[in-house]
């Protein structure tokens, strides 16, 4: 019997495939401030990073004010257009249903909390999570802050293999490692094969339905 108490999930690229809606919102916001639209390949590399950093780098003019304006436009636009194409990855809803009530479940995302809540609400997924935590007021991943905020709020000791951080980017895994929790790399998400190799997670999955077995969770016989 494992002693897992808490599973912490990244949102974009781990629980939901939000690639098209995020890319559309970034393009809209770059256009809004007069920037040149980047291609899909360039945009994909940036998914999962802090929003202001994405805008600053994509605009490429060193103008913080313009990047802030693009960031605010993104938040305005995305709130109303965040779930046109976004949907849970295959196996997510079924697996969450099986985990629900047996383990505490949380979301730790680079999004702001209100935006993560909005996405989960529209997809009818909020009910599965004890806590949805966005990144505001502390350092983003790969810093350990967000994982520590989640464990502190839920009063779970991060030691003794009680907590897992599951994410699709190297930054998710490094954040979990820095916080002293076990880590699982979601290979089906936005991260590259190079990130998978460099992350050196404690476990890896290629579909969400593989998660219980990868973490040693027995859900059979229900």
Mean pLDDT, the chain, rounded, equals: 94
- Looking at residue 76, what is its pLDDT? 96
How many residues are there in the chain?
222
Which residues neighbour 81 within 8 Å (Cβ) at sequence distance 6 or greater?
21, 24, 25
pLDDT bracket for residue 145 (50, 70, 90): very high
Q: Can you tell me the distance from the alpha carbon of 58 to that of 206, in angstroms, rounded to the nearest whole number?
A: 30
- Looking at residue 221, what is its pLDDT? 52
- In tens, the pLDDT along 87-97 reads 999 999 999 99
- In tens, the pLDDT along 164-191 reads 999 999 999 999 999 999 999 999 999 9
Q: What is the DSSP string of 88-118?
A: EPTTHHHHHHHHBTTBEEEEE-SS-HHHHHH
Beta bridge partners of 203: 184
In this structure, of 1-5, 73-77, 139-143, the range with the lowest mean pLDDT score is 1-5
Query: In the structure encoding, which two tokens stand for residue 16, read together?
Result: 């939901």
Would you say residue 74 has pLDDT above 60?
yes
- Looking at residue 205, what is its pLDDT? 98
- Looking at residue 220, what is its pLDDT? 60
- In tens, the pLDDT along 150-164 reads 999 999 998 767 999
Closest listed residue to residue 7, CA positions, set 117, 100, 125, 141: 100
Closest listed residue to residue 217, CA positions, set 209, 167, 14, 146: 209
Domains and CATH numbers, the chain: 6-17+87-214 (3.40.50.1000), 19-80 (1.10.150)
- In tens, the pLDDT along 11-49 reads 999 999 999 999 999 999 999 999 998 888 889 889 888
State the Cα torsion 86-90-94-95 to the nearest 10°: -100
Q: Across residues 195-212, what is the average pLDDT? A: 97
Closest listed residue to residue 11, CA positions, set 95, 135, 99: 135
- Looking at residue 159, what is its pLDDT? 77
């Amino acid at each position: 019997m494992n002693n897992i108490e808490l599973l912490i999930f990244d949102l974009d690229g781990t629980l939901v495939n939000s690639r098209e809606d995020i890319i559309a919102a970034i393009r809209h916001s770059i256009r809004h401030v007069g920037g040149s639209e980047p291609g899909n390949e360039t945009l994909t590399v940036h998914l999962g990073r802090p929003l202001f950093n994405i805008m600053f780098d994509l605009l490429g003019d060193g103008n913080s004010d313009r990047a802030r304006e693009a960031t605010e436009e993104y938040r305005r636009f995305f709130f109303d257009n965040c779930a046109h194409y976004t949907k849970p990855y295959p196996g997510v809803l079924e697996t969450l249903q099986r985990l629900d009530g047996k383990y505490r479940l949380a979301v730790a995302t680079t999004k702001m909390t209100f935006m993560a809540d909005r996405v989960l609400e529209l997809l009818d997924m909020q009910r599965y999570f004890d806590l949805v935590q966005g990144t505001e007021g502390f350092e983003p991943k790969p810093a350990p802050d967000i994982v520590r905020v989640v464990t502190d709020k839920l009063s779970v000791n991060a030691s003794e293999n009680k907590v897992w951080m599951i994410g699709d980017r190297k930054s998710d895994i490094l954040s979990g490692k820095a916080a002293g929790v076990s880590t699982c790399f979601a290979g089906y998400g936005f991260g590259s094969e190079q990130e998978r190799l460099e992350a050196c997670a404690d476990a890896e999955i290629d579909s969400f339905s593989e998660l219980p077995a990868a973490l040693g969770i027995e859900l059979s016989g229900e």
